[in-house]
Amino acid sequence: MMMLIRISPEMIRDPKYECATVQAVRREVFGTRKFKDKYPWRTDFKAHLKAVSPSKLDPLVLDVVKQVSEEHINASEDNAPFRLSPEDKEVAAFAASNGWEVGTGDKGLQDFLDQEFDIKSHSALEVLNIWLKKKVIAWTQEMDKVLREWAEQREKPQPQDAKKLFAKLTGKKYPGP
Amino acid sequence: MGWNGEQIRIRAKELGTSFTELAQSLNVSRVSLNNWAKGQSPKGSYLVALCRALGVGPDYFFTPEQLPVTVPMHRTRRRARVTKQMQEAANELVAGYVNLFRKAPDPGLVPVLRIEERTEQNALKMALQFREMSGVQESQPIDYKHAFDLLDKLGIVVIFRTFPKEIKGYAFYCTINRHRVVFVNTATHLLDLIFPLLHEAVHALRDERGTTYDDEEEKFCDMVANFIQFPDGYVAQVARMLNGKQDAQRIALLRRISEERHHSLFGIAKRLEAYGIKLPTKAVGGADTNLKKHMNRTVGKVLFRSDDAVSYIEILSELSPRFITILSKSLSSCTDRKFGEWVDLDNQIDSSMARQALESKLALA
């Protein structure tokens, strides 16, 4: 989310982006010093990052997420148990309650969402490509600048396929990590 | 817990629903439903549908399993009582580590010290054995390195966590999947650290006897820990330094000694009485509080002193090598946030970097 918010500040508020965030993530962004150090501009977007209403969370789904995350094993990881934090479970439960896909680069969470709920996950660049494809946004110099800063801020490397698609959609080389 | 598919049949019968009807309402095949009933746990989305169709929560289908965890809460700060909330909070904190220890290597045979009668003589005997194990010199107080080395030799895994406010303690001992674990509160002041580590270590070894915890057991563990930390030779030495001085001078000198030797004033003040040195409790308390304010160093501040992931992992590796070994078995299968929870990092940036730092460290080893 922090990778994308400067490209599309209205990504949470404007329904055309079809994005939401949850309270647990918001708490982390605005409540921890590390996020303050890495993204000092984050307070500029505080009003833009409203968390989805708790009423959107189905309590049964949350209970199931909690239960299966403790009981089931990850078939993609040599049958290791899933190891999700309470925040991961909250994200998964909101997604499963509403049929949403999830923006995350965390493999453990991706595996859980896919195995237990057939929920697709997307990296930041994949989300950006979705917006570009739907013509919700278009390439700008500012976008290019932010993508270069992803590399400077040592954000996670993006999937190769996503980089190729970006180039195809924008006609520009992807400058990020 | 384990999946108990038989519950599907029981509940369907209660509702007067046939398996065919149930399968249709769930939009699954009869074969799939039968497989679930025979023991195959359905994936999350199907479990949600199953729960809705049968009007039950997911726990209805899982048999409660005895967690391989014991969390005896018995030691608190100052006058705090062990409450039900404290016990529940401790259980919850420990429960977050059960999956981590599922993949941990078997602890194997661990040292045990069997002493039946809780006498001062036996406490001394036990303390001597601990001191010998720690490698500390005779007549020297136990320092941080000795304390952590001792716990390592005893097969105890040390885990640093910010305790929730319900747990009013410096540290507590528990077992997880046969592993001896001591959780240390990162809010613990450095001067208060060694004694609870030793106290919990004594509990760990006496736990092998299935000892139930009570006031007498607490006092005995305190006695042993005190003898471990402050050998008679050291107490005698301090007594000689304080002899012949006025109370105010004694307190000031004891404060300086405590700062140099990394212990609070309280623990040794009580022992000095045996050498005819009785210090006013209020003055000792005041000096102890002032010293801690002056030093202003907690366990958390030491762990985070460099504020970077690599240093954090280095410090953790030094203080708790067993914990790092156990973590390494689960690195590939946990989320960043879960890793952060285990190592007490409150945000994904730090936990992601710390995880990478540990992966790099293991790759170099």
B210-228: buried (b, 16+ CB within 10 Å) or exposed (e) per residue? eeebeeebeebbbbbbbbb
How many whole angstroms separate alpha carbon B212 and alpha carbon B225? Answer: 18
Average pLDDT over chain A, rounded to whole? 91
Q: Using the beta-carbon criterion (under 8 Å), do A85 and B338 form an inter-chain contact?
A: yes
**Amino acid identity, residue A162?**
A
Q: Give residue B159's pLDDT band: very low, low, confident or very high (50, 70, 90).
A: very high
Q: Give residue B212's pLDDT band: very low, low, confident or very high (50, 70, 90).
A: low
Q: Residue B197: which residues within 8 A CB-CB, separation 6 or more?
A: B147, B148, B151, B158, B171, B182, B184
Q: Using the beta-carbon criterion (under 8 Å), do A84 and B338 form an inter-chain contact?
A: yes
Mean pLDDT of A129-144: 93
How many whole angstroms separate alpha carbon B149 and alpha carbon B134? Answer: 6
Q: Using the beta-carbon criterion (under 8 Å), do A64 and B52 form an inter-chain contact?
A: no
pLDDT at A111 over 90: yes
Mean pLDDT of A39-43: 87
How many whole angstroms separate alpha carbon B24 and alpha carbon B144? Answer: 65
Interval B242-255: pLDDT, tens: 999 999 999 999 99
DSSP-based three-state secondary structure for B122? helix
Considering only CB atoms, which residues of chain B are within 8 Å of chain A?
1-3, 41, 43-45, 47-48, 51-52, 57-59, 62, 99-100, 102-103, 330, 332-341, 346-350, 352
How many whole angstroms separate alpha carbon B151 and alpha carbon A171? Answer: 61
pLDDT of residue A117: 97
Q: Give residue B208's pLDDT band: very low, low, confident or very high (50, 70, 90).
A: low
Mean pLDDT of B296-313: 86
Interval B258-294: pLDDT, tens: 999 999 998 899 899 999 999 999 999 999 999 999 9
pLDDT of residue B62: 87
pLDDT of residue B75: 58
% of chain B exceeding 70 in pLDDT: 92
pLDDT at A79 over 80: no
Q: Using the beta-carbon criterion (under 8 Å), do A35 and B347 form an inter-chain contact?
A: yes
pLDDT at B296 over 90: no
How many whole angstroms separate alpha carbon B55 and alpha carbon B49? Answer: 10
pLDDT at A131 over 80: yes
pLDDT of residue A58: 96
Q: Sign (positive/negative) of CA torsion A135, A137, A140, A146?
A: negative
How many whole angstroms separate alpha carbon A142 and alpha carbon B233? Answer: 71
Closest CA of chain B from A35, distance in Å: 7
How many whole angstroms separate alpha carbon B20 and alpha carbon B25? Answer: 9
Q: Sign (positive/negative) of CA torsion B309, B314, B318, B322?
A: positive
Q: Using the beta-carbon criterion (under 8 Å), do B330 and A63 form an inter-chain contact?
A: no
Residues in A closer than 8 angstroms to B41, CB to CB, are 68, 71-72
Q: How many residues does chain B have?
A: 365
Q: Using the beta-carbon criterion (under 8 Å), do A81 and B348 form an inter-chain contact?
A: no
Asked if B130 contacts B224 with a C-beta cutoff of 8 angstroms, the reply is yes
Select the residue of B58, B332, B352 nearest A64 (Cβ to Cβ): B58
Mean pLDDT of B357-364: 90
Residue B130: C-alpha distances to residues B153, B228, B230 (Å): 10, 7, 12
Q: Using the beta-carbon criterion (under 8 Å), do A64 and B51 form an inter-chain contact?
A: yes
How many whole angstroms separate alpha carbon A115 and alpha carbon A80? Answer: 13
Interval B51-89: pLDDT, tens: 999 999 999 998 766 556 667 666 555 556 677 888 888
pLDDT at A98 over 90: yes
Asked if A58 contacts A97 with a C-beta cutoff of 8 angstroms, the reply is yes
pLDDT at B45 over 60: yes
Closest CA of chain A from B353, distance in Å: 10
CATH 3.40.50.1980: does it fit domain B2-63?
no
Residue recorded with tokens 């977050």: B96
Select the residue of B47, B100, B340 nearest A68 (Cβ to Cβ): B47
pLDDT of residue B65: 60
A79 exposure class (CB count in 10 Å sphere: 0-12, 13-18, 19+): exposed
Asked if B304 contacts B319 with a C-beta cutoff of 8 angstroms, the reply is no
Which of A4-8, B118-122, B306-310, B343-347 is predicted least confidently? B306-310
Q: Is A171 left (phi over 0), alpha (psi -120 to 50) or beta?
A: left
pLDDT of residue B306: 76
Q: Give residue B299's pLDDT band: very low, low, confident or very high (50, 70, 90).
A: very high
Which of B145-159, B204-218, B283-297 is predicted least confidently? B204-218
Output B43 or B310, whichever has higher pLDDT: B43
* CA B164 to mean position of chain CA atoms: 13
pLDDT of residue B25: 94
Q: Residue B288: which residues within 8 A CB-CB, separation 6 or more?
A: B191, B255, B258, B264, B265, B266
Token pair belonging to B123: 């406490």
B4 exposure class (CB count in 10 Å sphere: 0-12, 13-18, 19+): middle
pLDDT of residue B210: 53
Torsion angle, alpha carbons of A20, A13, A177, A110, to 10: 10
Mean pLDDT of B153-164: 93
Query: DSSP secondary structure string, B164-233?
Result: -TT--SSEEEEEETTEEEEEEETTSBGGGTHHHHHHHHHHHHHGGGTPPP-HHHHHHHHHHHHHHHS-HH
pLDDT of residue A120: 94
Closest CA of chain B from A39, distance in Å: 11
How many whole angstroms separate alpha carbon A77 and alpha carbon A112? Answer: 11
Where would I find the H helices in chain B? Answer: 6-15, 19-26, 30-38, 44-54, 84-95, 98-102, 120-134, 144-153, 194-206, 215-229, 232-242, 247-261, 265-272, 281-295, 299-303, 309-319, 321-328, 336-342, 348-364
How many whole angstroms separate alpha carbon A66 and alpha carbon A86? Answer: 8
Q: Using the beta-carbon criterion (under 8 Å), do B335 and A106 form an inter-chain contact?
A: yes
Average pLDDT over chain B, rounded to whole? 88
Where would I find the H helices in chain A? Answer: 23-31, 33-38, 59-71, 86-98, 107-117, 124-133, 141-152, 160-170
pLDDT of residue B79: 56
